[in-house]
Amino acid sequence: MSSVEEEISLKEIINTLWQGKWIVAVITIIALLISSLYSFVIADPVYKGKSEVTIHKVATVPESIQPYIDEMTKPELFQQTMTSPDVLSDVIEENNLDTTVSSLQSGLQIELPSDSENTSSIITISMEGTDREKIASIIDSAVSTTKAAIGDKIQTRLTSLEEEYQQKMTEEDEKITTAVQEFNEMGADDGIPALIQFQQNTNSDGQYVFEMSEALLNDIQSLDKQTKIEYEKINENIANLTELYNFYNSKHDDISSVSTMNIMDLSMDVVSDTFVPEAPIAPSKLLNLAISVVLGLMIGVGVVFLREYMKDEEANKSH
């Protein structure tokens, strides 16, 4: 009995749909026309532009300076700098954009490399919009402005380090001068030749070296035990101060050799220039049309059954 009822019910459904086929067809056509009008006429095409840059180590940078360069050229710092208000404000001004910093921040998409420990890290910058030329201009401007901003940060850091090491060299130089004077004053009382200090001029300030003649060494060895210990202490102090001064001098020279370089020009390369395909990514016309057909059919079927239901209700009331 149930199978007979199901067969009757199915026949009723098919019959109802057949009777309302024109309603379904008309509603589907209307939905298709609305979708076509939106997709082909109303909606502006949306394009997506993309550029790729890579940041790598600079072979000519001294090993002692490389950690500072690595820290300031990390992909994460590149992203933070590009999305910073200062950089984006410059981009907005350069391109005469009628937008806000926060809006541009959300519009620029930056994809960092999955493995930041690679010697070469590719960063992808992309943006969507309705104006192909403006997309390309904004991405190019963002990349160049970010590059300049990071370059300024690197130069500021190197200048600070150079000044710091120069200050330390000055302090150690004063200590060395005082210690040598103390040695020579002691030597004058004991008839020992003066310790001669001078600097090699191979670099900007050179490194300290001392002339310790054989006669001077012999004179010190001939002293009594207590006096000899005093000379050995001051000699050790001079040696330690000299080593520290020469260390700072070496660091200072390393930084000086890098400060004249444009680090960002050497460490950052544009892998692919900004490219905006002519084919838009949105709206998806075929997808919109397919969705409109499905929605039209669903709404049409719903209207047909609602219409049949209302007829049945009126028939029941009349009886």
pLDDT of 84 > 80? The answer is: yes
Q: Is the pLDDT of residue 237 over 50?
A: yes
| Pair (133, 234) in one structural domain | no
Question: Are residue 196 and residue 251 in the same domain, yes or no?
Answer: yes
pLDDT, the chain, mean? 84
Residues 121 and 205 in one domain: no
Domain contains 4: no
268 SS3 class? strand
48 neighbors 127 (Cβ within 8 angstroms): yes
Tokens of 22: 């024109």
Q: Say what the pLDDT of residue 142 is.
A: 96
Q: Determine the pLDDT at residue 7.
A: 55
pLDDT computed for residue 266 by the predictor: 84
Measure Cα distances from 182 to 50, 226, 237 in Å: 68, 17, 11
Q: What are phi and psi of 198, to 5 degrees?
A: -155, 170
Domain range for 233: 164-258
In this structure, the answer to whether residues 155 and 174 fall within a common structural domain is no
Contact 228, 221 (CB under 8 A): yes
Average pLDDT on 241-258 reads 89
Q: Which two tokens stand for residue 297?
A: 């059919």
Q: How far apart are CA 293 and CA 14, in angstroms?
A: 20
Q: Are residues 218 and 245 in the same domain?
A: yes
The pLDDT of 109-124, averaged and rounded, is: 75
- Please tell me what DSSP assigns to residue 180: H
Q: Which residues of 143-175 are buried (b: 16+ CB within 10 A; e: fewer)?
A: bebbbebbbeebbeebeebbeebbebbeebbeb
Q: How many separate domains does the chain show?
A: 3
Average the pLDDT over 135-145 and give the result.
Answer: 95
Asked if the structure places residue 240 within a domain, the reply is: yes
Indicate whether 2 pLDDT > 80: no
Write phi, then psi, for 100 (nearest 5 degrees): -105, 165
Closest of 161, 159, 220, 162 to residue 187, by C-alpha: 220
User: Same structural domain for residues 190 and 221?
Assistant: yes
Q: For position 121, which CATH number holds?
A: 3.30.300
Show the CA angle centred on residue 248, arms to residues 156 and 236, nearest 5°.
160
- Does 145 share its domain with 174? no
In this structure, what token pair is assigned to residue 215? 């006669």
Residue 65, H or E segment: none
- Domain assignment present for residue 233? The answer is yes
The reply to whether 317 falls in a domain is no
Residues 35 and 63 reside in one and the same domain: no
* Secondary structure element (H or E) that encloses residue 45, with its range: none
Mean pLDDT of 153-162: 91
Cα–Cα distance measured from residue 208 to residue 195, given in angstroms and rounded to the nearest whole number: 13
Which token pair is 168? 């330390």
Task: For residues 174 and 253, state if they share a domain.
Answer: yes
Q: Is residue 72 part of a domain?
A: yes
Q: What percent of the chain stands above pLDDT 70? A: 83
Residue 141 lies in a domain: yes
**Could you tell me where the DSSP H helices lie in the chain?**
2-19, 21-37, 66-72, 75-82, 85-94, 101-107, 132-190, 214-221, 225-259, 263-267, 285-318
* Lowest mean pLDDT across 8-12, 52-56, 84-88: 8-12
Provide the pLDDT for residue 33.
93
Buried b (16+ CB within 10 A) or exposed e, 36-75: eeebeeeeeeebbbbbbbbbeebeebeeebeebbeebbeb
Percent of the chain at pLDDT > 90 equals 41
pLDDT in tens, 252-309: 988 988 887 888 888 888 888 899 999 888 888 888 889 999 999 999 899 988 888 8
pLDDT interval class at 4 (50, 70, 90): very low
Q: List all residues 6 or more positions away from 229 whose beta carbon is below 8 Å from its beta carbon.
A: none
d(CA 46, CA 284): 10
Q: 192 in helix, strand or coil?
A: coil
Q: Which pLDDT value is given to residue 1?
A: 47
Burial 106-117 (b: 16+ CB within 10 A, else e): eebebeeeeeee
Determine contact, residues 65/259, Cβ cutoff 8 Å: no
Domain contains 181: yes
Mean pLDDT of 42-69: 88
Say yes or no: 92 and 130 in one domain.
yes
What pLDDT does 309 receive?
84
